[in-house]
């Protein structure tokens, strides 16, 4: 009997008629208990008929209808603890931080080494088009496959985070974890102590994105010949033009096209900045079979971006396998990354030509701001003219919804790792919100400054940037006068939802 109704007793409180599905993992039941009592799963001791519930299996923990389940454990706030970070008082916050602090979004509780999943969800949730597609996802038509179950669970989690309430978020996180285990059983591995083992956040990111790629259809596109079938390909997918030249024989160069959902920044002794790490990956030496020589030969592989996605994911390749210790050791080197990223130099000449018109508009706006600043310095303080309303221009090419038409990006999320290996330590999400930033450390969400985000570049045992998510830099122009030509407004977006201005 997988579905039973039990009574849960915690201290003096009694919760009757709690529905439990024993086909689910025990952690989901603990999340339900958290929703009722506020006691986090790792602090719970759950007992029925003298048997204690384990995290990994129901085992001898037999539930029947009307069975009494005893819960022992206290809420985290009941146990005083020394503050990890210096307290920030409201009086010391600027306006952006104050507005953020007064309206904190929900976080996701840690179900036992699940920070990698929590941080991934918080970062992906910053993409408005993806968030809307998830909220509109028909959870009743999952198709019965693991990708559908994972997409439905993520949809439920995003909805719970939007609506608020730690109870709903706790249950949603547990279901998402179960769906992730179903899609990729390696994430269900256990540590020596019996709890869930820590996992790699980049692998979790890839697994979730792969599921969404299968299940979330793309928004309608003006170009009827467009082949991007999913929201992921539409907004995260780019293409590379690749040229291979043999360094050891006189062979004609070969050309091909490759797709990508993220770029890699390899960290070497010479790499001090994100841009140089990306450049080095675009021109590399590889070894492959030469038909001319009849043996392996060295080739120069040169890649140029021919399609820029609206949202650019960059992974710092910080982990490498250390055979002696059998762990993925970490490169702690400091590699600086910018808030504003320009990838024009990484693009093909053809794409550079297409990017130029929008780039010129950005330059014209900057020049106009400088001129306006100089002019305003000569005006009297009595000038009470109202500022013009702004209109937002589309960030995509007209025939390619979900692309980037300028090459300019603005940082909107950073996923960091603190520790010495990918299978240990702690993952945290840092996400842009309005004019400020938030640190999403599991269920603890706090405002932070841009300076604190830029300090996540590595170089020590503090949090190091592992994954960066850049969104399109949005161009805002003053409202047009009646005699000016009409410009397409962002609300004409065929995807149905205007993007969030990140600049």
Q: What is the mean pLDDT of residues 247-276?
A: 92
pLDDT at 79 over 60: no
- The torsion angle over the Cα atoms of residues 421, 422, 423 and 428, rounded to 10 degrees, is 110
Q: Are 389 and 479 in contact (CB under 8 A)?
A: yes
Query: For residue 415, is pLDDT > 70?
Result: yes
What does the block give as tokens for 369?
A: 């701001």
Q: What is the pTM of this model?
A: 0.80
Q: Which residue has the higher pLDDT, 16 or 55?
A: 16
pLDDT tens track for 24-73: 888 888 888 887 887 878 888 999 988 899 877 888 898 989 899 999 98
CA distance 423 to 417: 11
The answer on pLDDT for 160 being more than 90 is: yes
Name 467's bridge partners. 315, 415
Contact 113, 198 (CB under 8 A): yes
CA distance 265 to 276: 8
Q: Closest by alpha carbon to 28, among 2, 60, 10?
A: 2
What is the pLDDT, as a whole number, of residue 489? 41
- Residue 132: C-alpha distances to residues 162, 214, 312, 496, 497 (Å): 11, 17, 18, 9, 8
More confident residue, 385 or 375: 375
Give the model confidence (pLDDT) of 340-368 as tens digits. 999 999 999 999 999 999 999 999 999 98
Between the alpha carbon of residue 500 and those of residues 107, 157, 410, 450, the distances in Å are 21, 21, 11, 18
In the block, which residue shows the tokens 């339900």? 32
Q: How would DSSP label each residue in 409-470?
A: EEEEEEEEEESSBTTSSEEEEEEEETTEEEEEETTEEEEE-HHHHHGGG-SSSS-EEEEEEE
Give me the catalytic one of 48, 115, 246, 265: 115
The pLDDT of 149-159, averaged and rounded, is 96
- Collect all residues with Cβ–Cβ distance below 8 Å to 207 and sequence separation of at least 6: 150, 180, 183, 184, 187
Q: CA–CA separation, 290 vs 297, rounded Å? A: 6
Q: Is 426 a catalytic residue?
A: yes
pLDDT at 4 over 90: no
Tell me the C-alpha to C-alpha distance, in Å, between residue 240 and each of 35, 266, 290, 302.
47, 18, 22, 10
CB atoms near residue 66 (< 10 Å): 11
Q: Name the DSSP letter for residue 169.
A: H
Structure letter (DSSP) for residue 95:
H
Domains, the chain, in order of start with CATH, read 1-74 (3.10.20.90)
Instruction: Specify the range with the lowest mean pLDDT, choosing from 258-262, 263-267, 384-388, 440-444.
Output: 384-388
Tell me whether residue 115 is one of the annotated catalytic residues.
yes
Q: What is the CA radius of gyration of the chain?
A: 26
Q: Does the pLDDT of residue 490 top 60, yes or no?
A: no
Q: Where are the beta strands (DSSP E) in 199-282?
A: 238-246, 254-260, 263-266
What H or E segment, with its residue span, contains residue 390? strand 390-392
Residue 154: pLDDT band (50, 70, 90) is: very high
Name the pLDDT band for 246 (thresholds 50, 70, 90): very high
pLDDT, residue 164, reads 74
Q: Which DSSP string do the residues of 21-56 spell out, in sequence order?
A: ETTS-HHHHHHHHHHHH---GGG-EEEETTEEPPSS
Number of H helices, E strands in the chain: 11, 21
Q: What is the pLDDT of residue 438?
A: 97
């Amino acid at each position: 009997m997988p579905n039973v109704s039990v009574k849960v007793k915690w201290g003096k409180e009694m919760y009757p008629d709690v529905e439990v599905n024993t086909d689910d993992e025990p952690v989901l039941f603990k999340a339900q208990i958290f929703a009722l009592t506020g006691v986090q799963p790792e602090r719970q001791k759950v007992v029925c008929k003298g048997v204690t519930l384990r995290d990994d299996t129901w085992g001898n923990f037999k539930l029947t209808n009307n069975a009494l389940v005893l819960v022992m454990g206290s809420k985290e706030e009941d146990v005083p603890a020394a503050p990890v970070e210096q307290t920030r008082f409201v009086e010391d916050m600027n306006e952006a931080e104050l507005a953020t602090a007064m309206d904190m979004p929900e976080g996701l509780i840690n179900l036992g080494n699940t920070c990698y999943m929590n941080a991934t969800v918080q970062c992906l949730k910053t993409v408005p088009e993806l968030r809307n597609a998830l909220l509109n996802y028909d959870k009743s038509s999952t198709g019965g496959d693991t990708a559908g179950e994972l997409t439905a669970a993520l949809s439920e989690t995003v909805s719970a985070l939007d609506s608020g309430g730690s109870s709903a978020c706790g249950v949603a996180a547990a279901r998402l974890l179960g769906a992730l285990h179903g899609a990729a059983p390696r994430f269900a591995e256990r540590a020596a102590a019996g709890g869930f083992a820590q996992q790699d956040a980049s692998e979790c990111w890839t697994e979730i994105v792969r599921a969404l790629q299968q299940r979330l259809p793309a928004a309608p596109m003006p170009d009827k010949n467009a082949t991007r079938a999913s929201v992921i390909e539409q907004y995260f997918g780019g293409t590379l033009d690749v040229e291979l030249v043999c360094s050891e024989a006189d062979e004609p160069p070969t050309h091909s096209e490759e797709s990508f959902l993220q770029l890699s920044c390899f960290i070497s002794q010479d790499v001090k900045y994100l841009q140089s790490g990306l450049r080095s990956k675009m021109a590399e030496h590889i070894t492959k079979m030469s038909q001319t020589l009849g043996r392996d030969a060295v080739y120069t592989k040169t890649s140029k971006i021919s399609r820029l996605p609206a949202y650019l994911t960059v992974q710092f390749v910080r982990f490498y396998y250390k055979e002696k210790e059998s762990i993925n050791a970490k490169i702690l080197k400091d590699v600086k990354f910018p808030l504003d990223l320009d990838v024009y130099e990484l693009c093909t000449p053809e794409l550079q030509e297409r990017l130029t018109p929008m780039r010129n508009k950005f330059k014209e706006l900057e020049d106009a701001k400088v001129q306006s600043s100089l002019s305003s310095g000569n005006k009297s303080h009595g000038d009470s003219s109202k500022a013009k309303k702004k209109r937002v221009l589309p960030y995509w090419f007209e025939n390619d919804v979900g692309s980037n038409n300028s090459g300019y990006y603005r940082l909107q999320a950073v996923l960091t790792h603190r520790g010495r290996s990918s299978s240990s330590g702690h993952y945290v999400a840092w996400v842009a919100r309005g004019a400020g930033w938030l640190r999403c450390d599991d269920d603890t969400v706090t405002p932070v400054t841009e300076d604190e985000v830029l300090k996540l570049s590595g170089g020590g045992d503090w949090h190091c940037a592992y994954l960066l998510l850049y969104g399109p830099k949005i161009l805002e122009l003053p409202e047009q006068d009646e005699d000016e030509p009409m410009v397409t407004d962002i609300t004409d977006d065929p995807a149905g939802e205007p993007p969030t201005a990140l600049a």
